[in-house]
Amino acid sequence: MNKQSIKLSVDAVVFGYEEGIISVLLIKRKYEPFKGKWAIPGGFVLNDETLECAVERELQEETGIKINYLEQLYSFGDPERDPRGRIVSIAYFGLVRPNAFKIFASTDASEVEWFNIKELPELSFDHENILDLAIKRLQGKITYEPIGFELLDKKFPFSDLEKLYVTLLGRDIDRRNFRKKIISFNVLDELNEKVSKGSGRPANLFQFNKKRYFQLKKEGIIFEI
């Protein structure tokens, strides 16, 4: 019977949303394998740390980004996924505003950059598969949980919320039904303020009702958008 020899790693898929564009944070590898190629940030789990601590540490070390919460995505364990040997990776993902962070490459990364998910470079290892699954999970997630509070300005026109969902879903939505459904959840407070965009009429501004918003997230309401 062969002696088991498996190493454990973590990967962090960090999506960014800004002005109707979804991006993903990638690093250029400093060392082999795949030296000089782009990859998802990540690395090996240390003997004395949890998976969550490992992924937060690797993300901060390689990109300069510190995120308090990343959601576990999936485990990737194909025996041939890493040329260095049998390495199982636990992938995590999160969604942030890129302009809230100052990124810089360090440790195993020679460069770090945000890439539009529609204009991605060739990726190392099986990271294309990891990213594809993360995109599908994100699109599924926003149909059963309100997402957007952390990604929009404190005060925003309703059209910005519509644009967020259209972008994340990658398809058009029924705007009338979407507005009706969102309003029915009572997560928005309409303000006595307006903003002008383009040549159209000034639009009312809204802000999220934090208490109700986080309660809905906890409950996992089905949006059926």
| Predicted local distance difference test score (pLDDT) of residue 142 | 84
pLDDT tier for residue 159 given thresholds of 50, 70 and 90: very high
Q: How far apart are CA 127 and CA 131, in angstroms?
A: 6
Number of Cβ within 10 Å of residue 6's Cβ equals 10
**What's the rounded mean pLDDT across residues 123-128?**
97
Point out the least confidently predicted range of 4-13, 23-32, 209-218: 209-218
- DSSP 8-state secondary structure symbol assigned to residue 46: P
**For residue 104, pLDDT beyond 70:** yes
Task: List the structure tokens of 197.
Answer: 């965009």
Name the residue with higher pLDDT: 40 or 141.
40
Q: Is the pTM of this model over 0.75?
A: yes
**What's the rounded mean pLDDT across residues 115-121?**
95
**What's the rounded mean pLDDT across residues 42-71?**
95
Distance of CA 84 to the CA centre of its chain: 28
| Predicted local distance difference test score (pLDDT) of residue 199 | 65
Percent of the chain with pLDDT over 90: 68
**For residue 82, pLDDT beyond 80:** yes
Query: In what helix (H) or strand (E) does residue 22 lie, and over which residues does it extend?
Result: strand 21-29
Q: What are phi and psi of 19, to 5 degrees?
A: 50, 45
**For residue 146, pLDDT beyond 80:** no
Q: What domains sit in the chain, N to C, each tagged with a CATH number?
A: 7-141 (3.90.79.10), 156-219 (1.10.10.10)
- DSSP 8-state secondary structure symbol assigned to residue 104: -
**Which residues are known catalytic residues?**
111
| Predicted local distance difference test score (pLDDT) of residue 201 | 81
**What's the rounded mean pLDDT across residues 207-225?**
79
Name the residue with higher pLDDT: 129 or 182.
129
**What's the rounded mean pLDDT across residues 44-63?**
96
pLDDT tier for residue 78 given thresholds of 50, 70 and 90: very high
Percent of the chain with pLDDT over 70: 97
Query: In what helix (H) or strand (E) does residue 16 lie, and over which residues does it extend?
Result: strand 7-18
Q: Which residues contact 213 (CB under 8 A, 6 or more apart)?
A: 146, 149, 187
Q: Kindly give the residue spans of alpha helices, DSSP state H, lying in 71-219.
A: 127-141, 158-169, 175-184, 210-219
Task: List the structure tokens of 202.
Answer: 């000034």
| Predicted local distance difference test score (pLDDT) of residue 23 | 96
pLDDT digit string (tens) for 9-27?
Answer: 999 999 999 988 999 999 9
**For residue 67, pLDDT beyond 70:** yes
Q: At what angle do helices 158-169 and 127-141 cross, to 10 degrees?
A: 140
| Predicted local distance difference test score (pLDDT) of residue 198 | 65
Q: How far apart are CA 181 and CA 132, in angstroms?
A: 29
